[in-house]
Amino acid sequence: MATPVLRERVARWILVALAVWATVAFAAVAAVALPHEVNPDKRAIILMGGTLLAVWCGIGGPAQWLLRERLTRWLTGVPLWWPLRFVLLCTLLALLEEAVTTGLTNLAPVFGGVTDAARITASKHYLEVVCLHSVVVFVPLFIGWAVILRFFDFSPAEVMLLFGLTGWLAELLTFGPDNPGMIGMWVYVYGLMVWLPARTVPAARKVRPARWWMWPLAVVAPFLFGVPWVPVVLLVRWVIGYDGP
């Protein structure tokens, strides 16, 4: 039987390996693809993806780590029911991440983009992105993890890894297969939305011990909360006459 300490340690080592993989993969793309890519919009997208990796993961990740104790003490003092606090904190971080991506999309000309195809978000308008495309769909996934943590004792590192894999799968289902090296980036892009909030979950709550075989289940279980919500979002888009992507 794997102990919580062992599961936490394994999750951390996998996260380290994925960080190295993401860095090496992007360096390889930059060294091989960029010099030969003649389409300026595709070059811009590669550069914007690398900047996202550097800003959100390379700066935001270490910042969360360095400030983790102070932020955890402060956030756990917020007088809210912990599942609600967890979902709200995840949503806040998702909004912050989308601010970075939307900002990069609007800076496409700086990266050499010449047409509207040079973007890494569905729109250049932040509220349109978060309310009709991304964060609005993420929230049910966060609720799914709040439910999981209500019954099982996954550690913050496990939550980060497993939700990161959920995010990676969501990207594959939405946009199709991508470069294998993208798994490392997506795990961190999504995982950093939930790691700090997971640290605010009370350790003394009554839960069952998690098991190894629950890892793959925890990766796909949030979709049970998210999939029924998608038609609602599509209906809202139809009602308001939204004709965007």
pLDDT along the chain (245 residues), means of 10: 82 95 87 86 91 94 96 94 97 98 95 91 93 94 97 96 95 75 90 97 90 93 92 90 79
- Counting every residue, how long is the chain? 245
pLDDT of 1 reads 54
pLDDT on residue 195? 98
CA angle, corner 39, sides to 102 and 126, nearest 5? 10
CA–CA separation, 65 vs 186, rounded Å?
18
Q: Does residue 230 lie within any of the structural domains? A: yes
Contact 75, 86 (CB under 8 A): no
The vertex-125 CA angle with 120 and 126, nearest 5°, equals: 85
User: What residue has token string 């999939």?
Assistant: 227
Alpha helices in 37-181 (DSSP H): 40-52, 61-66, 68-76, 82-106, 126-132, 135-151, 156-175
Report the number of distinct structural domains present in the chain. 1
63's tokens: 């910042």
Domain-located, residue 244:
no
Measured distance CA(203)–CA(88) in Å, rounded: 19
Residue 179 is predicted with a pLDDT of: 62
Residue 10 within any structural domain of the chain: yes
pLDDT at 181: 67
Q: Where in the sequence is the domain holding 72, given as residue range(s)? A: 4-239
Q: Could you tell me the pTM of the whole model?
A: 0.93
The verdict on residue 135 lying in a domain is: yes
